[in-house]
Chain A
Amino acid sequence: MDGTSDAPDGLLTTGDGTPLKTALARATRRAKLKAVVLVLPLLLFVLVTFAVPIGQMLYLSVYSPVFADNMPRLSAYLMANPVTEVPGEAAFEALVLDLKDARKNRTHAQVGTRVNYEKAGSTSLFKSTARRLRKIDGPPYKEKLLALKPAWDDLHLWTVMERAAHRHTLSFYASALDLGYDAKGDLVRAPEERRIYGLLFQRTLLLSALIAGLCLLLGYPVAHLLANLPLKYSNLLMVLVLLPFWTSLLVRTTSWITLLQSQGVLNDLMVWIGIVGDDGRIQLMYNQAGTVIAMTHIMLPFMILPLYSVMKTVPKDFVRAARSLGAGPVTAFVRVYFPQTVPGIGAGVLLVFIISVGYYITPALVGGSSGQLISNQIAFHMLQSLNWGLAAALGALLLGGVLLLYWLYDRLVGVDNMKLG
């Protein structure tokens, strides 16, 4: 009897009658368990420090409880009674009582800020109203409040508050997409002068594509050289490619400022040579040109390394074969060498593009106002306007866009064909 035998139902079994598949699964379980244990620390680390916070942050883009938590009476009323006009006494009573509590808890400014996201001027309205609420000590609340602050007689304000009363909201996404609600609560496009995010997204994608294209143009020949030079020269060249990589990002960015500013090295050189006059110095910094130049330089290694790793695997014999078969140097390159490097191009372009789309420091330092990218606006809402919901919505849109591009790339080129090194 050998190790395996045929069971009556045709399944292979081991000598003692266990199905072969079961025995195999048992044998490999230990190895799988070992693998899981080995990656567990990193998995937990990433989960706790990265995945969970990001998830929470993204949740903020649809979850905004500040109004509902601090204005419980008014929220209850607004949930029960849809707003079609400025509501009556009951709503104003809830508003005044909630606002008094909020002032006691010092949360009235937060509530005002939340409403202010959708209707400008609300923060100051909430603050000044709360300050003077002592004067209202009994009904009729509506009459007294409107006498005190006529601004409350505004249907738009009430529709905004109605939406804010819901803990879950899509209004941050609406803002991020340059949409807003009109007085009646219908979704409309924001006024022309306030449509900044669409423009920023567009600019971010365009500049990232431009940077990826420039990196490809500049990096392709270098990667080819790297892959084909004798080892001693290619090692030296590789160090030169990687050296900026090891230098601090801030140092590199500030050195670009020194080079590119209007009194900087490059402009001085051009004036000295006589290409431009002293009064015609070219503005290369604090605009889109600055962002593109500095970021192209910073992204180059991300293009060269995947290209190099692919080119390294293309045998020299391919081009030689093409040449011997009658193809000139250009034809051999276009029809034989270039197609072999497409996976590297895909990987490099995708890598540079994705990193550029989310890039923050360099545009912040050298971009001026016209060279700002969407990430700078996200940072602004995170750190200065403290509108985390909008920041999260912008971030989520950015993430979604990148994933969409990745999916498109997978459909067109195939991720399996991509080599990152």
Chain B
Amino acid sequence: MNIQRGNEQTSDHAPAPGPSAVAGAGVRFDNVQKSYDGETLVVDGLNLDIAPGEFLTMLGPSGSGKTTTLMMLAGFEPATHGEIFLNDQPINNVPPHKRGIGMVFQNYALFPHMTVAENLAFPLSVRNTPRAEIEAKVARALEMVELPDFGNRRPAQLSGGQQQRVAVARALVFDPALILMDEPLGALDKQLREQMQYEIKHIHANLGVTVVYVTHDQSEALTMADRICVFDKGIVQQLSTPDELYEKPANSFVAQFIGENNRLSGTVKEVSGDECRVDLDGGGTVTALAVNTDGPGSRATLSIRPERVVLAAQDGGSGRGDVPNRLSARVEELIYLGDHIRIRMTVAGRDDFVVKLRNDGTRCPLKAGDETAVGWLAADCRALDPIDD
């Protein structure tokens, strides 16, 4: 607990001036449930440990319970059941202003009747910080977000990106050990959003605070987080690092929600070790990793990432010995995307099977209407729980 994280992650990055590095706080949800109407659970049995200094992203579609979880942590919504711990102290009965948690809101929530400097001074002045210290901290915070000359402006005179930075600075200026961010980049355009993602990530790395970040944008989650907590229907579907989440989704929802995914439905024929044979509904039998299936006779959904599919056209149509799963395919559509070409095909009766072909300068060997074959390694094909579509 309370380990000074310092600048260990920022060897390539000059330490930014700004709020001093603080030890991040640890957070623990212990079987937390939340219901608004007494009939449905918005958050169902949440158990979650957030390590000090961690950047944890809560990812999920709207209505999945991620924002409600954040609001419970901030203290704006009481937990219906269970306990939330901040640095091992239960905080269910601590009002929001005594939790010492910085928060960045979706629409920034900068106070429009105050200047930028007054906004930044607000959390300090309500804590009765001496005036000189307030001025020094506000100046440092403005410098941290690279807006040193903007103190006297009103929020309305700033661009969206600048308001965003001020909101981040305000949440950090009183040196909280935990920062919550509720879709803070949702209102920015794509380019600015990507730039801010890096900036927030760097600020986190420099200060060592714990960050809990809510988003519905999976690429944002993959870019920023140490760990991602995927929510759906009030339940944590998977909690892992970004690469594990992408490479090894635990169920069909995660496979579908994170990144692009090809689904094939079928019935498990036999299971041997950690592999299984699956009869596809559209014909053909393939080998897959038995990740989340119920044994022979049960339904399963296979998940294959588009970039792991091997085209027969790529290896001269001879077939490769190390690709055990081979299915015939018909090219439906080619979409040029610059760095790669998306090929939509019909495979095993499904016409939404997508293959990504890296643009290496050679001409694409396929055109719409071609009959060809696709294949993939058993290790790249995960048999998961069945979903209807």
A→B interface (CB under 8 Å):
315, 317-318, 320-329, 331-332, 335-336, 339-340
Please state if B100 and A317 are interface contacts (CB–CB under 8 Å): no
Complex Cα spacing A318 to B100, Å: 17
A sample of 20 cross-chain residue pairs with beta-carbon separation below 8 angstroms, ordered by A number, consists of A317-B106, A320-B103, A320-B105, A321-B109, A321-B111, A323-B97, A324-B75, A324-B99, A324-B103, A324-B171, A325-B97, A325-B103, A325-B122, A325-B126, A325-B171, A326-B123, A327-B123, A329-B95, A329-B97, A339-B111
The residue among A324, A326, A331, A335 with the most chain B CB atoms within 10 A of its own CB is A324
Q: How many interface residues does chain B have, given as a range?
A: 20 to 34
Point out the residue from B76, B109, B126 that lies within 8 Å of A326, measured CB to CB. B126
A142 to B271, CA, bound (A): 137
Other-chain contact of B74, A324, A331, A336 (Cβ < 8 Å): A324
Q: Please, which residue of chain B has its CB at the minimum distance from the CB of A323?
A: B96
B317 within 8 A of A: no
6 A-B pairs with the lowest CB-CB distances in the bound complex, closest first: A325-B123, A321-B109, A317-B109, A324-B103, A323-B96, A327-B126
B126–A321 touching, CB < 8 Å = no
Please state if B174 and A325 are interface contacts (CB–CB under 8 Å). yes
* Identity of the chain B residue whose Cβ is nearest the Cβ of A320 in the assembled complex: B76
Closest A residue to B102 by beta carbon equals A324
| Least Cβ–Cβ distance between B44 and chain A, in angstroms | 23
What's the nearest-Cβ distance from chain B to residue A138, in Å? Answer: 84
Given contacts A317-B107, A324-B180, 9 further A-B contacts (CB under 8 A): A320-B103, A320-B109, A323-B97, A324-B102, A324-B103, A324-B171, A327-B126, A332-B97, A339-B113
Contacts of B111 in A (CB 8 A): 318, 321-322, 336, 339
Determine whether the beta carbon of B107 is less than 8 Å from that of A320.
no
Name the distance in Å between B48's Cβ and chain A's nearest Cβ: 20
Task: Known A331-B126, A335-B122; judge A324-B107 contact (CB<8 A).
Answer: no
Contact B109 A318 (CB under 8 A): yes
User: Could you tell me the distance between the alpha carbons of A340 and B113 in the complex, rounded to whole angstroms?
Assistant: 7
CA–CA, A332 and B103, complex, Å: 15
Interface residues of B (CB under 8 A from A): 74-76, 95-97, 99-103, 105-107, 109, 111-113, 122-123, 126-127, 170-171, 174, 180
Q: CB-CB < 8 A to A325: which residues of B?
A: 97, 102-103, 122-123, 126, 170-171, 174
Chain A residues closer than 8 Å to B126, beta-carbon distance: 325-328, 331, 335
Assess whether B97 is in contact with A326, with CB atoms less than 8 Å apart.
Answer: yes
- Are A321 and B97 in contact, with the CB atoms below 8 A? no
How far, in angstroms, from A279 to B103 measured CA to CA in the complex?
Answer: 63
Chain B residues closer than 8 Å to A331, beta-carbon distance:
126
- A336's nearest neighbour on chain B, judged by CB, is B111
| Chain B hits for A317, CB < 8 A | 105-107, 109
Kindly name the residue among B101, B106, B111, B174 whose own CB sees the greatest number of chain A CB atoms within 10 A: B111
Cβ-closest chain B residue relative to A328 = B97
CB pair B106–A324 under 8 Å, yes or no, is: no
Closest to A325 in B: B123
A325–B101 CA distance with the chains assembled, in angstroms: 7
Residue of A nearest to B124 (CB): A326
Question: A58–B170 Cα gap in the complex (Å)?
Answer: 58
Interfacial chain B residues near A322, Cβ < 8 Å? 111, 122
Contacts of A336 in B (CB 8 A): 111
A-side contacts of B106, CB under 8 Å: 317
Contacts of A321 in B (CB 8 A): 103, 105, 109, 111
Assess the B101–A324 pair: CB atoms within 8 A.
yes
Q: How far is the CA of A332 from the CA of B97 in the complex (A)?
A: 10
Give Cα A327 to B103, complex, Å: 13
**Contact B123 A323, beta carbon cutoff 8 Å:** no
* Alpha-carbon distance A336/B126, docked complex (angstroms): 12
Task: Give min CB distance, B258 to chain A, whole Å.
Answer: 29
- CB contacts (< 8 Å) of B100 on chain A: these are 326
Least CB distance, B296 to chain A, in whole angstroms: 51
A325 to B113, CA, bound (A): 16
* Complex CA distance for A360 and B183, rounded to whole angstroms: 55
In the bound assembly, the distance between CA atoms of A263 and B95 in angstroms comes to 51
Given known pairs A325-B123, A326-B127, A331-B126, the reply for A320 and B96 (CB within 8 Å) is yes
A334 CB to closest chain B CB, in angstroms?
11
Most chain A Cβ neighbours within 10 Å, of B100, B106, B122: B122
The answer to whether A326 and B174 touch across the interface, beta carbons within 8 angstroms, is yes
* Closest residue of B by beta carbon distance from A342: B113
Set of chain B residues within 8 Å of A318, measured between Cβ atoms = 109, 111
Residues of B within 8 A of A315 (CB): 107, 109
- A340 to chain B minimum Cβ distance, whole angstroms, is 7
| A321 and B75 alpha carbons, distance in the complex (Å) | 11
Nearest CB on B from A229, distance (A): 15
